[in-house]
Amino acid sequence: MCNNANPYIPYVATIEDAWFETVGERCVKTFKVTLDDPVARKNWRHQPGQCAMVGQLGVGESMFCISCSPTEGDFLRFSIMRAGKNTQALHELEAGDKLTVRGPYGNTFPVDEWKGKKILTIGGGIGQAPLRPIVEYVKANLDQYAGLTMIYGARTSGDLCFKDEFAAMSGRDDLSCHLTIDVEEEGWEYNVGFVPSLLMDLSPSPENTIAITCGPPIMIRFVLENLKKLNFADDQIYTTLENRMKCGIGKCGRCNVGSLYVCKDGPVFTYATLKDIPEAFA
Amino acid sequence: MDMKKVRKEKFADFLATLAEQKLYAPQKVGESLRFAPVTDSGKVELEMSNTTVPPKSVFFPQTETLYRYEVGNTEIQQPAMGGVDIVLGVRPCDARAQVIVDSLFGWDYNDPYYQERRKATVVGLACNKPCVNCFCLSLGGGPASTVGLDLLMTDLGDAYLLQPLTEKGEKLLALAGETVETAAAGDREAAESLHGQAEQMITRKVETAGVAEKLPGLWEHSLWQETANSCLGCGICTFLCPTCHCFDIQDEVEGLEGRRCRMWDSCMFKEYTLHASGHNPRPTRRERTRNRINHKYSYFVQKFGHTACVGCGRCINYCPVNIDLVEILRQVKEAL
Amino acid sequence: MSTEFEPNVVAFLCNWCSYAGADLAGTSRTHYPSNLNVIRVMCSGRVNPLYVVNALQQGADGVLVSGCHPGDCHYMEGNFYARRRFTLLRELLEYVGVEPGRFNMSWVSASEGAKWKDVVGEVTKKAKEAGPFKQFRRAKINW
Amino acid sequence: MVNVDKLKEIARETISRDDVKYLIGWRQGTYGFRAAPYFMSTPEEAEELIFSPLCTNNLATYLTLAEKLPVPRGQEPDSRKVALLVKGCDSRAVVQQLVEQGISRERVLVIGCPCRGVIDQKKVEAKFPDVREAVSAVWDGDTVVFNLPGGSVAVPRQEVLAGKCLTCRYPNPVIADVTVWEEVAVWGSDDYVDVRELEAGSPQQRWGFWEEKFASCMRCYSCRNVCPMCYCEDCVLDRLNPQWIMRSVNTAENTAFHLARAFHLAGRCIECGECERVCPVDIPLMKLNRKLTKEVRDKYAYEPGVDPEAKPLQASYRPDDKEDFIL
Amino acid sequence: MNNKPKIGVYVCHCGVNIARTVDVEAVREFASRLPNVKVVRNYAYMCSDPGQLLIRDDVEKEGLNRIVVASCSPRMHENTFRKTLAAAGLNPYYLEMANIREQCSWVHEDREEATAKAKKLVYAAVAKARLLEPLYEKEVEVEPASLVIGGGIAGIQAALDIANAGFKVYLVEKTPSVGGRMSQLDKTFPTLDCSACILTPKMVDVANHPNIELLAYSQVEDISGYVGNFDVKVRKKARYVDVDKCTGCGICAEECRLKGRIPSEFDMGMGKRSAIYLPFPQAVPAKYTIDPERCLYLTRGKCGKSPKCADACTAGAINFEQQDEIVEFKVGTVIVATGFDTFDPTRKPEYGYADYDNVLTGLELERLVSASGPTGGNIVLGEGENAFVPKDIAFIKCVGSRDKSVGNEYCSRVCCMYTAKLAHLVEEKIPGANVRIYYMDVRAFGKGFEEFYDRVRREGIRYIRGNPSEIFKRGDKLVIKVEDTLAATPLEDEVDMVVLAVGLEPRKDAREIIDILRLSQSADRFYLEAHPKLAPVDTATDGVFLAGCAQGPKDIPDTVAQAKGAASSALVLLSSGKVKIQAQISFINENTCRGCGYCVEICPYGAIELVTISRMGNPVQVGRVNEALCKGCGACAAACFSGSAQQKSFMDRQILPQIAVLGVMR
Ligand SMILES: Cc1cc2nc3c(=O)[nH]c(=O)nc-3n(C[C@H](O)[C@H](O)[C@H](O)COP(=O)(O)OP(=O)(O)OC[C@H]3O[C@@H](n4cnc5c(N)ncnc54)[C@H](O)[C@@H]3O)c2cc1C
Ligand SMILES: Cc1cc2nc3c(=O)[nH]c(=O)nc-3n(C[C@H](O)[C@H](O)[C@H](O)COP(=O)(O)OP(=O)(O)OC[C@H]3O[C@@H](n4cnc5c(N)ncnc54)[C@H](O)[C@@H]3O)c2cc1C
Ligand code: SF4
Ligand code: SF4
Ligand code: SF4
Ligand code: SF4
Ligand code: SF4
Ligand code: SF4
Q: How far is CA D72 from the centre of its chain?
A: 34
**E664–B71: do the CB atoms touch at under 8 Å?**
no
D78 vs E: CB within 8 A: no
> What DSSP character marks residue E48?
S
Name the residue ranges covered by the structural domains of chain C.
9-128
Cβ–Cβ < 8 Å for B318, B198: no
What is the pLDDT at residue D196?
94
Residues E68 and E110 in one domain: yes
Q: What pTM was computed for the model? A: 0.84
Residue E658 lies in a domain: no
Provide φ and ψ at E637, rounded to 5°.
-65, -35
Q: Quote the pLDDT of residue A1.
A: 41
Which residue type occupies E488? A
Angle separating helix axes C18-27 and C113-130, nearest 10 degrees: 100
The one-letter code for the residue type at A79 is: S
Q: What is the pLDDT of residues D37-47, one digit of tens each?
A: 999 999 999 99
Q: How many Å lie between the centroid of ligand 8 and the Cα of residue E587? A: 9
Q: What is the pLDDT of residues E25-60, one digit of tens each?
A: 999 999 999 989 999 999 999 999 999 999 999 999
* Chains C, A in contact, 3 or more Cβ pairs below 8 Å: no
Query: Does E1 have pLDDT greater than 60?
Result: no
Give the mutation candidate from B254, B261, B262 for the C interface (greatest C CB count, under 10 A).
B254
SS3 D234: coil
E49/E168 same-domain check: no
B233 lines ligand 3 (CB under 6 A): yes
Domain assignment present for residue E538? The answer is yes
Under CATH, what is the fold of the domain A118-240? Rossmann fold (3.40.50)
pLDDT greater than 60 at residue D18: yes
Bridge partners (DSSP) listed for residue D109: D83
CATH for E42: 3.40.50
CA-closest candidate to residue C14, choices E635, E133, E125: E635
Task: Among E594, E618, E621, select the one facing D68 at the smallest CB separation.
Answer: E618
For domain C9-128, give its CATH number from 3.40.50, 1.20.120, 3.30.420, 3.40.30. Answer: 3.40.50
Model confidence at C140: pLDDT above 80: no
Check whether residue E442 and residue E477 sit in a common domain. Answer: yes
pLDDT of residue B1: 64
Nearest by CB: D69 against B132, B133, B283: B283
CB E566 within 8 A of CB E516: no
Please state the domain extents for chain A.
11-105, 118-240
Taking the C-alpha atoms of residue E499 and residue E415, their distance in angstroms, rounded to an integer, is 11
Question: Distance between CA D99 and CA D103 in Å, rounded?
Answer: 9
For position A4, what pLDDT does the model report?
Answer: 63
B107 chain-A contacts, CB cut-off 8 A? 250
pLDDT at C142 over 60: no
CA-nearest residue to E653 within chain D is D242
Residues in chain B with CB shorter than 8 Å from the CB of A87 are 276
Return the pLDDT at A171: 63
For residues E193 and E187, what is the distance between their CA atoms, to the nearest angstrom? Answer: 5
Closest partner CB to D216 (pick from B29, B239, B322): B29
Q: How far is CA E317 from CA E245, E283, E309, E326, E648, in A?
A: 5, 18, 10, 21, 59
C-beta of D303 in contact with ligand 6 (< 6 A): no
pLDDT of residue B71: 86
Q: Can you tell me the distance from the alpha carbon of E2 to that of E91, in angstroms, rounded to the nearest whole number?
A: 14
Mutate which of D233, D237, D241 to test chain E, going by most E C-beta atoms within 10 A? Answer: D233
What is the rounded CA–CA span in Å between residue A63 and residue A78?
Answer: 10
Q: Is E620 in the pocket of ligand 7 (CB under 6 A)?
A: no
Q: Considering chain A, what percentage of its residues have pLDDT values greater than 70?
A: 96
Contacts of E609 in chain D (CB under 8 A): none
Calculate the average pLDDT of chain E: 93
Read off the pLDDT of residues C22-50 as tens digits, 9 standing for 90 and up: 999 998 899 999 999 999 999 999 999 99
Mean residue pLDDT across chain B: 92
**Cβ contacts (< 8 Å) between A92 and chain E: which residues?**
2-5
Chain CA centroid to CA A245, Å = 16
- Ligand (nearest to CA of B309): 4
* CATH H superfamily, domain A11-105: Translation factors (2.40.30.10)
Measured between alpha carbons, how far is E413 from E419 in angstroms, rounded to an integer?
11
Whether residue E243 lies inside any domain: the answer is no
Q: Does the CB of E618 have a partner CB in chain A at under 8 Å?
A: no
Best-predicted range by mean pLDDT (A229-233, D186-190, E649-653):
E649-653
Note whether E126 and E37 are within 8 A (CB).
yes
Instruction: Determine the distance separating the centroid of ligand 8 and the alpha carbon of C37, expressed in angstroms.
Output: 26
pLDDT of amino acid A190? 81
Q: Are residues E527 and E492 in the same domain?
A: no
Among the atoms of ligand 1, which is closest to the Cα of residue A129? 8
Helix (H, G, I), strand (E, B) or coil at D90: helix
- Rounded Cα distance, E318 and C78, in Å: 54
Mean pLDDT to the nearest integer, D82-97 = 95
Please report which confidence band the pLDDT of residue C93 belongs to, taking 50, 70 and 90 as the band edges: very high
User: Given this model, what pLDDT does residue C141 score?
Assistant: 54
With CB atoms and an 8 Å threshold, state whether B255 touches E35: no
**Which of D279, D282, D287, D288 to probe ligand 5 with, by most ligand atoms within 8 A of CB?**
D279
Say if residue E80 is in the same domain as residue E213: no
Residues 6+ apart with CB under 8 A from D306: D92, D95, D170, D174
Buried/exposed E458-489: b ≥16 CB within 10 Å, e otherwise: eeebebbbbebeebeeeeeebbbebbeeeeee
Q: Which pLDDT tens digit goes with each residue over E186-216?
A: 999 999 999 999 999 999 999 999 999 999 9
Touching C: which chains, 3+ CB pairs < 8 A? Answer: B, D, E
D1 has pLDDT over 60: no
Residue nearest to atom 2 of ligand 3 (CA): B319
Q: Which residues of E511-534 are buried (b: 16+ CB within 10 A; e: fewer)?
A: ebbbebbbbbeeebebbbbbeeee
* Residue-wise pLDDT tens digits, D218-261: 999 999 999 999 999 889 998 888 899 999 999 999 999 999 99
**B63 chain-C contacts, CB cut-off 8 A:** 142
Ligand 7 site, residue E247, Cβ cutoff 6 A: no
Determine contact, residues D103/D64, Cβ cutoff 8 Å.
yes
Range of the domain at E271: 251-312
Q: Does residue E444 register a pLDDT over 80?
A: yes
Q: Tell me the nearest-neighbour CA distance from E62 into chain A, angstroms.
A: 15
User: Band of the pLDDT at E549, cuts 50, 70, 90?
Assistant: very high
User: What CATH number does the domain containing E385 carry?
Assistant: 3.50.50.60
Q: What is the mean pLDDT of residues A184-207?
A: 86
pLDDT score at C2: 55
B303 sits in which H/E element: helix B300-304
Rounded Cα–Cα distance for residues D230 and A223 (Å): 42
C vs D: CB pairs below 8 A: 123
DSSP string for residues in D183-204: PPPP------HHHHHHHTS-HH
Measured N-to-C along each axis, helices D203-216 and C78-95 cross at an angle, to the nearest 10 degrees, of: 90
- The percent of residues above 70 in pLDDT, for chain E, comes to 100
Name the range with the highest mean pLDDT among B54-58, B278-282, D138-142, E516-520: B54-58
Q: How far B131 CA sits from the closest chain C CA (Å)?
A: 33
String of DSSP letters for chain C: ---S----EEEEEETTTHHHHHHHHHHTT----TTEEEEEES-GGG--HHHHHHHHHTT-SEEEEEEPPTT--TTSSHHHHHHHHHHHHHHHHHHTT--TTSEEEEE--TT-HHHHHHHHHHHHHHHHHH-S--TT--TTTT-
- Cβ D138 under 6 angstroms from ligand 6: no
Indicate whether E490 and E363 sit together in one domain: yes
Taking 50 as the threshold, does the pLDDT of residue A2 lie above it? no
**Residues of chain E with pLDDT > 90: what percent?**
85
Q: Are residues E476 and E608 in the same domain?
A: no
CA distance D116 to B25: 43
| Residues E346, E488 share a domain | yes
E453 CB neighbour count, 10 Å cutoff? 21
Question: What is the mean pLDDT of the segment spanning E336-359?
Answer: 95
What pLDDT score was predicted for residue E551?
A: 95
Is residue A125 helix, strand or coil? helix
Tell whether B181 is within 8 A of chain D (Cβ).
no
Q: How confident is the model over A127-153, as pLDDT tens digits? A: 899 999 998 888 888 888 888 888 899
Mean pLDDT (whole number) for E522-529: 87
Q: Which residue of A has its CA nearest to B276?
A: A83
| Best residue among D67, D222, D278 to mutate for probing ligand 3, ranked by most atoms within 8 Å of CB | D222
Q: At what angle do helices C49-57 and D251-264 cross, to 10 degrees?
A: 170
CA-to-CA separations, C140 to C5, C57, C98, C136, D245, in angstroms, rounded = 21, 11, 20, 11, 14
d(CA B180, CA B162): 9
Contact with chain B for residue A130, Cβ under 8 A: no
Q: E532 and E357 in contact (C-beta within 8 Å)?
A: no
Q: Please state, in angstroms and rounded to a whole number, the distance separating the CA atoms of residues E553 and E544.
A: 19
Structural contact between residues D97 and D229, judged by C-beta atoms closer than 8 angstroms = yes
Residue nearest ligand 6's atom 1 by CA: D269
Range name among A243-252, D204-213, E234-243, E407-416 with the lowest pLDDT average:
A243-252
Residue whose CA is at the smallest distance from ligand 7 atom 1: E640
Q: Looking at the 3D structure of chain E, how many domains does it have?
A: 5
A-chain residues near D240 (CB < 8 A): 84-85
Average pLDDT over residues B270-294: 90
Residues in chain A, overall count: 282
Q: Give the start-end residues of each E strand in E100-183.
A: 138-141, 145-149, 168-172
The pLDDT, as a whole number, for residue D272 is 94
Q: Are strands E168-172 and E66-71 parallel, antiparallel or unpaired?
A: unpaired
Cis amide leading into A267 (omega within 30): yes
Q: Quick one: average pLDDT of E493-520?
A: 91
Q: Are E370 and E270 in contact (CB under 8 A)?
A: no
How confident is the model at residue B7, as a pLDDT?
A: 93
DSSP per-residue letters across A209-266: EEEEEES-HHHHHHHHHHHHHTT--GGGEEEE-----SSSSS-S-TTEETTEEHHHH-
Amino acid at C17: C
Contact residues, chain A, for E4 at CB < 8 Å: 92-94, 97
Name, in order, each residue with C-beta under 8 angstroms of D76's C-beta and a sequence gap of 6 or more: none
